[in-house]
Amino acid sequence: MKAAGPATDAFASPHAHGGNSIGRTMLRVQIALLPATAFGFWLFGWPAFFLWLLTILSCLGFEALALTLMGSRRIKATLLDGSALLTGWLLALTLPPWAPWWVAVVGGFMAIVIGKQVFGGVGQNVFNPAMVARVALLGAFFIATDYVTSPNTGAGQIIFGLGVGLLTWIIRSYGGYPEGMAFAVLLMNALTPVIGRQGKPLAIPETREA
């Protein structure tokens, strides 16, 4: 009698379908998110709702755009499977409710295009797309722009930004570490005293008491 092969081998019929699908899985997660989302709307009001809606629409839009550019014939089916919607939903829950609108749009691009489609789409991505966008936004717009540890000159800020981008690419490409943003920012922070000598310091407005 032949022994059973690896888990990837197909066994003799009949086979029973579990009845699960991508759409059903995404729907279950969305239902589970409803209580926390509703509480967030109640706590933070309309800004939280608009940010949530814009983030979801951005993810759906970039999903459609990416699939169109790749010549996919399953654009409608992919948009309706709930994966892009869930990505936008999860990303919105990690963002401050008072974040500007462009954060939602940039986050949608990072999540769908960088975190998902470059790997081949749903099921092929190595990292959670929403968390890829969250980390990218945190590093690019919050950590790297800290006033205390970044240069206070126009030329210095340009050099600082280019250095962070270059080091992030080097660490991710050759260092075997998927998230190099934090290390890149720390390394450039150490060079801030030198970089800050380039150009004229930016004017800081005075606060006068009435």
The phi and psi torsions of 74 (rounded to 5 degrees) equal -115, 40
pLDDT value of residue 202: 52
Q: Which DSSP category does 73 fall into?
A: S
pLDDT value of residue 204: 47
202 SS3 class: coil
Q: What's the chain's average pLDDT?
A: 80
Contacts of residue 197, Cβ cutoff 8 Å, sequence gap at least 6 = 153, 156
One digit per residue, the tens of pLDDT, for the chain of length 210 reads 445 444 455 555 555 566 677 788 888 889 999 999 999 999 999 999 999 999 999 999 999 999 999 888 888 888 888 889 999 999 999 898 888 899 999 999 999 998 888 888 887 877 788 888 887 887 666 666 666 567 777 788 888 888 888 888 888 778 766 667 777 877 888 888 887 666 655 544 454 554
> What tens digit of pLDDT does each residue of 77-94 get?
888 888 899 999 999 998
Task: Single out the residue of 159, 166, 165 nearest to residue 198, CA to CA.
Answer: 159
Q: Could you tell me if 103 and 54 are in contact, meaning their C-beta atoms sit under 8 angstroms apart? A: no
Question: For the chain, what is the radius of gyration of the CA atoms?
Answer: 22
Buried b (16+ CB within 10 A) or exposed e, 38-49: eebeeeeeeebe
Q: Hunting for tokens 């000159």 — which residue is that?
A: 153
Q: Hunting for tokens 């991710």 — which residue is that?
A: 172
How many CA atoms within 13 Å lie on the side-chain side of 145?
7
The amino acid occupying position 88 is: G
Q: Where are the domains of the chain?
A: 24-127, 144-200
- In percent, how much of the chain has pLDDT > 70? 77
pLDDT value of residue 186: 76
Q: Cα(87)–Cα(131) distance, rounded to whole angstroms?
A: 9
